Every structure is written in structure tokens, then in C-alpha cells.
A and B are shown apart, each in its own frame.
Chain A
């Protein structure tokens, strides 16, 4: 449109004037187009974005003012002049009102025309610059709008709650996750939030809002929103400055740490249970050693011997406990190398019974087995399946009565190998049934007091069985007996 030379259109029905002006302007380095009537002029205007336009007011087809209207519509930045021989104040006013830059009375002198066009061209350049700036600004505004919605999308997408509060304590912004984290139904922008906050959060918020000054320090707190660890959050409060550095408000980021807290709780409970279990035998042994070493306490040789053999028993059971703990930990870490091979369940049963022979005969127990003739092959780790049988059988012995019975039944269903170990022992109370598989749980009643155990045997059995995608069931009647049934999937 303007390649250094101003591009101008002359729309006039008077051929002499048209051509004369064109020649004059071309000498002055204008690029000139001409049109002999209004409609042709409009056609050219639609095609080219002229810098300048001279429009005759009176033309045979349409009025110059109509051309001017079209020009304003299509080319608002083209600077236009209305030329007419019938100069009057009214037409001048009318044409500028319609958007003409100026008015040229006919006839005009070349100097007069060139001066006017020069002014007009300056105006044209200003208009183009303004247009350019306007487009640039609009683009920036659009970018800011995009940036805002992008930020909003990001903040909404994060799983942490984000809550912005101004220094008057009013909600300025929050994302949806905030509501879950604080366990509240709704928040309104502009509402004072203090009353809806748990005391601990409100207190920290207050400590930020009391001062008008901006301090660059964050505060983090763990807060229980729903009691008993059912919803615990981690809230980080950070002050937000205005661009000038003054204090604007506080942003609170809320993270759900419930799962973490629950795991931590389980871990702490487990550690304290383990510590207790380890400490109990040590306390007993240390007690004996102290009285043997204490000169002020008279101890006979027989007593000494008795204390040492009891210490021996306690230390052996402590060792069992530590080995059980290590087994559990290995299972948990899955560091134990499994040797999956074809195993013969009958053979495992026999060798387990052999290992327990002394205990069985001590209590004069009667063992009955009922084993399917044609059992499927089981693919599993020999040591693990032995452990399962050994633990179940030693429980059936330990918790049995003198002259009691143990029934062992092994058979198969379409998909499982089923092993059942049943005893005629002390049984399990209904309340205790669901607890017997948890770590360190030992049923406590008049029968169990004299029976020792780590409280980990069934935990280990259950973990092994479940690691083969099997399951274990227990049926029991207190003071009558207990039956454990294990279902191990047959790998075909």
C-alpha cells in the first residue's frame, strides 16, 4: 500500500481535472489511480488500501458523500478530501462529519493541493501507527487473558488446595480441591473465611493478618480436619506481596496427608509392638542376671541353675521372634529369592510331622490324615509351603488338649488344592477370630497364659498363602477346637 510513495486515488467525473491532477502528483512522486465516477471509485477502494483519496462531491452516478461513507466503512484509515466547485459551509461541515479529513474548494492551485495532501499524508501515517499500536495492545490483552485462564486451569488441576486470602481476611481465590481439604461445602469469593476454618488454621492465619507489613516467611502445620486420622492435611501459609512489596494477603496450600499419616501410625504401632516384644524377654533375663550378680540377695546353686535355664528359654524364644520378624520383613521387601518348583505336598506334610514328633507324643495327640489319592502337582517354593504347614501344625499341637486329636485333610477342587488342619483344642472366641492374623495378636484367656508364642505364626501363614493368590479360612468354637483351611490355586 505505501511503498514510500503515497498512494492516492482521485475520483472525479471531470476528465481534465482528473488527468491534470494525476500528472501533477506523479511528478511529486505520488502513485496515482483515478476513477471517472463514484461506483468505479468504490470498486478501487475495496481493492486497494489508499493512503489518500480525493473525492468529487458532485458526480453523475452517486454523490461524493456516499462514496465517502463507503470509504469510511472499508478503509477507515484512508485520509480523504472532498473536492467541489460549489463550496459552501454546509457541505464542508457535512463532509467532515462523514469522516473527510478536509475540504478542497475547486478550482485549486497546485501548491494549495500539495500542501493539503502533505498534511493529509502525515495524518495517514499517524493513523497507521495508531492502528498498529491498537492491534499490538489487543494481542497483548488476549495473551494476558489466555495466561489467566491457563493459570486457572493449572491451579484447578493440582490436587492440593490453593486458597488466597486478602489482608482483610476475605477469600480472594480458591480452587475446588480446597473444599475437600477443609471438609466444607462451599466458599464465596469475598466472604470472611475465619469462621469456616479449623481453630489451628484460623490461629495461624491471624498471626499473618495482624501485621500490615510483609514478612517473607512461610508457616507449615499438620492439621487434623476429621478426627482419628480420617482427614489430615498439611497446610503451608505464605504471605503474598503487592507489586510494590507491601503485604497483600496470604496463600494457603493444603495437601492431603491422610494416607501418609495412617501408614505412619501403623508403622509406629508396629515398632512399639516389636519393641515391647523384644524388651519383655530381655527384661526377664536381665532380672535374673542382676539377682545372681547382686551380693546382697542370697541365691542357692539350685536357684541359679533354674534362673539360667529359664533365661535360656526366654532367649531362645527371643531368637524365634527375631527370625519370624526377619521372615516377615523379607516377605515385605520381596528380597527373598523364591524357588518355584514342583512340590509334593504329602512329602512336606510327612517331614513337618516328623519335626514335631516330640511335641505330639508329649501331649499324646492322635493324628488322622485324609489325603486324596491323586493330588495335582503344586508349583511353589518348598520352604514357604513347609513353613505354612509347620506353623499350622504346631498351633494345632500347642493349643490342643492332652490326648487331643488332629485331623489333616488334603484334597482338590477344580482350581484349588485344599489343606485343612483341624484340632480339638481350646478354640478361639468369636471376637478374637478376625484378629488372629494380625501381628503379635495372641488370644488371651485362661488357657493361653501358659502357652508361649511370637504372635507372628499366623501372620506369616496368611502372607505366604496370599502371595500365591490363595486364601485362608478359620472355623472355631471356643473350648471345642479350631480348623484352618487353606486354598492354594493349582497352576495348570
Chain B
């Protein structure tokens, strides 16, 4: 594919209405016969598949242009209608025109002076920047004023009321107006009178709304398909056109022989019906035309409309080549910038290479290797196609490799398979934000799955339970350059949504780093070698001598990967937010201090390096550049995995074991709460419950019960977590932010708590009770969905039932939510897509309306901001002191 010359742009598109003359002029042939093919299977002359309209079968040539199937895009034909028929899309317009013009003389129902005033008003509106919609609105108002006068100011003709019987019949008082009469009236309206009514006489005459000639689309627009059985199946449009032709024919015959008026009119109505459904098969008021099987036909408007219509399906979104899709799997040895592409995909996907004097030898070699070369069991990129300057493609095979290699010259293009380092786009649906499609570097891998680094899961929202992703190979140098500069993963470490990192350590990475840094453990030489064995790094961390042996401190190991000059202070996720923070002296080791790239105190966990929260990642990306940040994430995650592999990590049901004492305590708390709720219910029945302002008695009870039971669950949780310390692996995960939360743990160890349906206690099911196990009117905790058991203990059948109710609600909720939020996002994007920042930092739309004088009021890019703030003053101070130190002040 070679593009030559200057790419031209379409400047503008003008929409206009086609006049009958234009249709006839455009038409390649007049269509008369309703039949399509003759017995030999050849298209009938002047039939719907006439070869003047283009060809759909290979071998035939178009009679209009002589082109073959892929050369001729088709030509229009036309049908002369026996009697005129109303166009459904414009009935409202016709009604407006009939009502606001004189039925006798066809003039607009206002004096010329009034008309001119309105026209100038319209011009004024246009000058003020009124768009076509504003003008339409004005035209509507004008038409409204005009139709109020019942006597024509021009000819004094009395105006009768004109009604529209949906969908296409017009009535004047009680007499039906035939389309012919309607057309005659519309013909009389002078051009100048159309302007105030919102029609542009340069492009449309109202009588054209009543069709005399019907445009027939080319056969290429409605191709017939040949079934396996050899039968032909026609397109819906062809079917409809056949109907129109048949009725048209009959109508003409009947009219010409002078059949009774009644029959002619019936046929006329039938023709109207067919043409109406040919245009829009969902017109309200008439039954849709159906296929023999009962399926309603997809006619013109249906082809354009909606999600599966031409616009949204084929024009706003397009199918592409050079793409692949397969299951994804994790690969911690890849960089976040890379993607593992399986060999099979790499062979199939190609990159065009232009043959130049500089690379011709290289390319010859490549071609000689054939289409599927291997070298020492390793993938080598092969060549699939050679494209000659005249556009001919030659497929490379083992056999023709040598001959082709000789033929290659400068100016040829060669399509080679992917090789390591190629830039590709990688995408996971739903593509909710721009980080759903990022550029990666190719790394060919064995197997059949795409591989990606775990740290890029958050932006794609990917996991490996069977997720599939798409890959697109860029085809031009310009595209590759743009992708590399703007779309590489490392450029998206910071999210424009909140000005923080969206790529960072997750799950085991965090646990690993916790093990490495918490309370600064010592690592032996053996350990360090094991941890470092998978890392690419220069130098080695500083060692200390303990008992005559060289040992390494965890924090020093971590510091080794921090860039020099990094200064930061933050609180770890494990911070217990004590009343007074002891900062560096924190006994939980939860205050992170990094000075000049050395970790002095603190535990590294989610709030340091995690995706969404990692402040260190944030700072590095911002102050040291994205490359440095990428290297940091790559290395630190591998480091963490080294540590966790060394240390080992597991969690089991025993992690939720509690001492007997606490189990008893929890039981007591829950029982107590239950008892209290019972008392409340009793008080409610006795009418002694004190009513909350603005709530009914029952609501009061519900609110109070919910509060009470919620508190009970919390208390149970507190008792449970007292015995769950940081020595517990499950707790480690929850506290460091690696996975799960304390709430999950308390639900496993303590009690599940209240199950809620629509935010309330379950109350429906049986008459005055949730389940037949309870007494009618029982309002206690258990009867209304309170689950005393923990996941570990297991739920009793009743509790299980309530839990399932809550679970089901969750599922339904998710299903509803995705569709609703999807639509909201579509609307938001549609409304805002055209907005762009201009050189003066103002935000404008294509109509050049200023939406914001300065983007975001301060002109700051949210992605570059620090959690929304333009400047972090602490950074400034640090810099300032550093400069002063340098100056020796």
C-alpha cells in the first residue's frame, strides 16, 4: 500500500434534496419489470438487477461503465410512478406548508411586508450565528403565525382546516386530498414564500415531497446472495422494490383502461403503503412490511438507524486489518512497556517495509529466509508478501523465496512479520478511557496467548480468568512515531483522571515489598543472590557486617532501586493513624522517609508504590521522567516477586481462627444486639417507640435496628481483629493494601452481619414474614436477614437464604449499572468530544464558541497536576533548600 502525492481533505458536505429531473438524469436505466433474473440466471433488462445498475457477480461487466465487480461501485436507476405518492419523511413538512399557504393561490398567508420582515429576521438570526436548528425553530413560529389567518391576504380565498391522518393522508375539512392535489398546491408556492417557512428554494421545491419518480439504488447496495442450495435470496430492498413495481404496474393498467375510481384509489393507497415502508418500515400507524418468514424487512431508514445501522456500525466504527485477538496471561519478566506476542500471531501480522538502497541487502536476506524462518529454535521474522510498485502482491513461499529475492528492487514494499521492538497497540474492551489502548513493544513469546506485565492490569482493568485482548499493528512510520511518543505505557503511568499513578505494584508485589522493608529485616548473601537473580541492575546494594558475615538490610536493597536525589515523606497504608504521629520514630515502621534516594524509615506498601495510590511512583514519574518511572516499576515489581518467592506466602482458613474466648465474646455481643432489637420491636408493637422526626414509626424501627445491628457487626469485627495481628498473613494483605480488606476478614472470622435488600432489611416473601420459619409479624434480627455466623463457621439454611438474596441483588445491580453508565458515558463523550484547547489555553468547540477562557480556570493539565494541585509547595521548598545548600548559604 503506497500512498502518493498530497492527501486531500473533504472540506465540507452539502445536503440537498434530489429533484425528479436530477433523478432521471442520474438514472442509468428506467426500471419496469418487477422480475429480477431470467430462467438462465441472467439479470433481466430493465429489471431490478439490470446490469446497467452495476454487477455483483464475478465475470459480468457493468453495462454503464464496463467495470467488473470490484471496479464498478454501481449506478442508480429509476422508477416512474403511475401516480404521485407522498414521501413519509416529509409529511410534517407538507402539513406545515399546506396550512401556512393559501389553498387557492399558493401564497404564504401573510402580506408581503410581513414576509419580508420575517425573512430579514431570519437573516439576522443567521448573521448572529444561529445554526440551522435555531432557524428551524423560527420557521416553525412563522408558520404558526401564518396559519392563523383564515383568509388569504393576497386573493381573499377562504382557508379551510387541513388535517393529517397519520401517516400519509391529508384531509381538508372532510374531503380527502389526493397526493396529486397536494402536489398541485405545493407547486403553486412561490420560491420567495418558502424562505420564511424554513425551506431553501435553492435546494428544494416543496412539490418534490410528493414523489413522481423513485430512485432505485444500485445492485451493489442490495446484493443478492446465492445459498448453498443454489437458490437466490434477494435483499430486503429488492423485495420491497419488486412490490412497488408490481403495484405500480397494476395501477397504471387500471388507470389507463378506466377502471372504477374505487379500484384505482385502492391501488394508489397500496402503492403509497409500499413506498412508505420502502423508506421507513417502522412508520407508526401502519403495519410493517414483512418477509415471508415473518421477520420485518430492513428498509432504507432501518439501514441507517440505531446501533446496528450504517452510521454507528460502519461509519463511526470501522473494521480493521493487521489486528489479532487472543487470551491474555501474565508475564512478570516483561517490562510494562512490552507485550508478549505468540509466534503464530507474529507470523500473521505484518509491518510494511519500503525497500531502499540502504536496506535492500537486509531485505534480500530476510526474503531468502522464507516466510517462516527459525534460527536455533528461536523465532525470526519472515516475509509474507512482496508488493511491486504497480501494486501487485506476491505471496512468499518456501519455493519462490530465491527467485523473489532476486527480483526485489528499490521502491518495492515488503511485508514482514513482527519482530521484537515493533510498536503495536494493545487494547482491552470495554475501552472506557484512553489507558484502555496503549502502545507496547513487541516481544515474541512461545505459546498461544498475549502476555503482559502485571502492573499494567489496572489501566486495562484486566485479569487472567479468560480475558481476551486485541492487538493492532501500526502500518505507517508516522503512526508508529506518534504511538511511541504519546501512547507508550510509560506515558500513561499518571492518569489524567486524578493526577496520580494508575500503573504500579499490585497484590503480591506489595506483600513482597512489605516483607522486604517492614522492620528492616536482614538478608544473607544467598538470599540476596536469589532475589537479584532475575533482576537487571547495575551495582549492588550496600552491605553491612553482622557477626563477621556480609548481610544486607531490606531497606538498603529497596533503596538500591530508587533514583538518586529522590526526597519524599509519606504515611504507609499500615499506618494506624495514631493521635500524635511520631513520624520517624513510629513503632509500626509506618512513616516512610526517603532522603536522596535512600529509604531511611518506613514500610513500603500500597501508598508508596501501589497502583492508584503509590506516591513514590507518582513522584518519580513527575520529577524524573516516565522512563525512570518505568524502570522503577519494572525493577521494583520483579524485586518484590523475588522476595516473596524467597519468603513464601500463603493464607488459609486458619488465618481466621480465633481463641475460644473471643468466639464467645462475639457470640455474646451478637446475642445482646439481637435481644435489644427484640426489645425495640416489642416497644414498636406497644407503641412506646419514640418516633424520629419526619419518619413513620416503622421506619424509625428499621433505622434503629439497622444501626444497632450494624454496630454489633462492627463490634464483633473489632473483637476478632484484636486477635488478628500483622503476624497473620490475611491481615498482612488487608493492611498493606495488597488484597482484601479488614471488613472481609471480620466477615470471615466474626460475623457476616445484616443482609440488605435495597438498603433495607429484607421484609417481603410470605404474608407478614420473610420465611415460613418465623412467626407472622416477627421483627427480630434473625427474621429480617441478620446473619450471625461467619463465613468460616458456615451459614445456617435461613442465613444462607438471606445471603443469597443480598448476593442476587448485587448481581442484578452490576448488570443494570454497566448498561446505564455505558449510556451515560456515550452521551458525555458525544457532548464533549469536539472540545479542544487552543493556543491561548481557551477551550472551544468547532463553532468557535468559547467554553472556557482558560482550561480548568488555571490552565493546568490534570495529568500533570499533583492530585489536582498545580504546585506542591513542599517540593518547591525542598528544591529551594537544595539550591541554597549548593550556593553555600
Do A and B assemble together? no
User: Which positions in B face A, CB cutoff 8 Å?
Assistant: none
